Structure 1
């Protein structure tokens, strides 16, 4: 394996170092002069690369997990060594303009939420999806629900079925029962491939069911179908809402005109 494959992007490491040192995504965003969402996205990209959740998240605060602290110590030490070496070579302290880093800019890529308790499966999916989509990965259902409750937004969810604790079917039913996430497209990606398993997946609210091993091209095509369908549905709903609003205004105008005519005749 090469360093390119083994190491996460430097931007993600820099953001992680700031968030871990300051103990807050918001404080890290202010220090780096970027949005909090940009910080959160880079942290999620790092977690997806590692196949682990580095932070405990809830609606009120964010804290490093035990392995997150160990990783932060290693990252901080080596980033500091790299910075010192750079200063020694250049003879000056470089100025970093974090806001101009394109990797931190808000993008238009759809966000895919991946929930699977096997880090190897997450890494495999990340290899397939990266470059096309933003990937947010969690190794258990409660962490995924906490992320959503804290304001996380996804355009599609890829769920494993057989997971410790809450399984994929139960997680899907929780999502569909929540009005805020009921329209989130859910695709099951699992080793379970019997007709009964597939039937239960659709009954839980999934829009598609894919058995492993999967062909990357097929998975990408089926994801794109669901994302396109969601966009089309949203556009149609917006169009209907605008037309309903115009119809309401037209009816109000007609009613007023009829009243004014009746007053004039009377």
Structure 2
């Protein structure tokens, strides 16, 4: 089912002169000005014909919508709709052929409330075999694609009734989205989050690898060993301090852990 606006359909190009084959369509018009266009629709099968009905109709008195039962806007029109018509007075319009031609003429004045909303449906009479969907009241056969699409194509609403099929369609909607679209969005979100986490982890690892290791300052053992040797009785006792590695040019003192008496003995020995 296609949704078209008259402003787009009435653009002057070669597509305007082509027959548009449809199963169903919804045409909307809202305050189009200075239009004079002709549009022709055709069914897919010669066994079908068109049913037209309006969900909204509020035409300006100088605007006219002509409906022709055929492939051309010639001869007698089937309907001439204007401000005197409403959707209730018009009801449903059926063609006898598998073509319908619309001629829409508007002037240069109007309001935002002027326009119409028309539903066009290709139907097959109940005398023919139906392999698609059968409407309840008049037993018309319509395409399966038109069932449960939110548009009343049967005129009695049976194609949009709360049935097993339509209920299943509604249950598959999550947050207004189809199940497939919802799953795609969820998976995409998970992949994006994983990519972000992986990128942050790589950056942290590289930063840690680039930072030089921190070595603590060397510690010195203040418990330095000392050896004392007694003299042979002929002289004063001599104290020998074993030589340790380190900088001996620094002043000796209690900062190295020696007492003042030991420092004086060491100096006398020197």
So what's the TM-score if we normalise by structure 2? 0.30
Q: Which has the higher helix share?
A: 1
| Higher alpha-carbon Rg | 2
- Give the TM-score normalised by the residue count of structure 1: 0.30
